[in-house]
A and B are shown apart, each in its own frame.
Chain A
């Protein structure tokens, strides 16, 4: 019983945090996604995305996940997957990329604080993510 109270308090905090991040994020995305800037940014990232088997539809969820992490990124991922009907293949490739390389800023900063090498961690994670997703995209061909 003693463990239950902190667990439930933590659960409430987690829920509050998720709501506070996801709701403004999804709202901002809805408001901004019609702007021409988004379309142009899409053109810029398209060739990069192609290398790892993804289309521009996956760009926003991918970058959200890379910077903010899986839990908050998932808010945008679910939303985009509904709107654009991302195929299974693309969802998996994006998931694989994010599995290796997500929430980079927070994760790396906290390890730099206790004496780790930020560039080494970032370089290896990004490199592995690109390598693995690129490989997987060639193994699992687009239908």
Chain B
């Protein structure tokens, strides 16, 4: 547990190769255990939640908000899957929705920022950072990024379609 004080600036003593491997394996297993002990209970809790109507209810609540990001209401279920589970679960919901390339990009952007929040929030806490603050940040940033992309997309559409229409293309 206790580590010898190190002075990176002065150059720490370099241990020999076997010692480094041993330190690495030991530290690796300890870190893995630390992360597992936090993430596995959370994972089980979320997996059990999947069997309840909670996900459906949440999706219904978020559906009207989807419009803000240029997405259909059904996409809310994909977001609930991404937030609580992971991107693969979200993709399984997205594919049958037949979204436009812009909408898929929008989902990829927002879900890339905010996904697997429960388990990763736990993991972030084990690093010593404030896990829940960062999780709230992820949600807020995901929304901001979504609005930004929609704005950029809209302006881009105007900028391109305007001159084209003017020139007689449509």
Bound together: yes
Interface residues on A, range: 35 or more
Closest to B32 in A: A22
A30–B148 CA distance with the chains assembled, in angstroms: 41
Contact B31 A79 (CB under 8 A): yes
Contact A111 B3 (CB under 8 A): no
Contact B39 A4 (CB under 8 A): no
Contact of B128 among A81, A112, A114, A125 (CB under 8 A): A81
> How far apart are A56's CB and chain B's nearest CB, in angstroms?
9
A84–B8 CA distance with the chains assembled, in angstroms: 8
Residues of A within 8 A of B44 (CB): 7-8, 10-11
> How far apart are A11's CB and chain B's nearest CB, in angstroms?
5
Q: Does A130 contact B (CB under 8 A)?
A: no
Contact A26 B27 (CB under 8 A): yes
Contact B134 A18 (CB under 8 A): no
A11–B126 CA distance with the chains assembled, in angstroms: 18
Contact A30 B20 (CB under 8 A): yes
Residues of A within 8 A of B94 (CB): 114
Q: Does A143 contact B (CB under 8 A)?
A: no
Majority secondary structure of chain A interface residues (helix, strand, loop or mixed): helix
Q: Does B64 contact A (CB under 8 A)?
A: no
A58–B51 CA distance with the chains assembled, in angstroms: 40
Q: Does A68 contact B (CB under 8 A)?
A: no
A86–B51 CA distance with the chains assembled, in angstroms: 41
Q: Does B107 contact A (CB under 8 A)?
A: yes
Given contacts A14-B43, A116-B101, A121-B109, A99 and B32 within 8 Å (CB-CB): no
Given contacts A81-B127, A100-B138, A121-B105, A24 and B28 within 8 Å (CB-CB): yes
Residues of A within 8 A of B108 (CB): 107-108, 110-112, 116, 121
Listed in ascending order, the chain B residues whose CB lies under 8 Å from chain A are 3, 6, 8, 14-15, 17, 20-21, 23-25, 27-29, 31-32, 34-36, 39-40, 43-44, 47-48, 50-51, 87-88, 91, 94-95, 99, 101, 104-105, 107-109, 111-113, 115, 119-120, 123-124, 126-130, 133-135, 137-138, 141, 144-145, 148-149
Other 16 A-B pairs with CB < 8 A, given A71-B120, A111-B105: A11-B44, A22-B32, A22-B35, A27-B28, A30-B23, A30-B24, A31-B24, A78-B127, A92-B130, A92-B133, A99-B134, A111-B87, A114-B94, A114-B95, A114-B104, A121-B109
Listed in ascending order, the chain A residues whose CB lies under 8 Å from chain B are 2-4, 6-8, 10-11, 14-15, 18-19, 22-31, 34, 57, 70-71, 74-75, 77-79, 81-84, 86, 88, 91-92, 94-96, 99-101, 103-104, 107-108, 110-112, 114-117, 120-121, 124-125, 128, 132
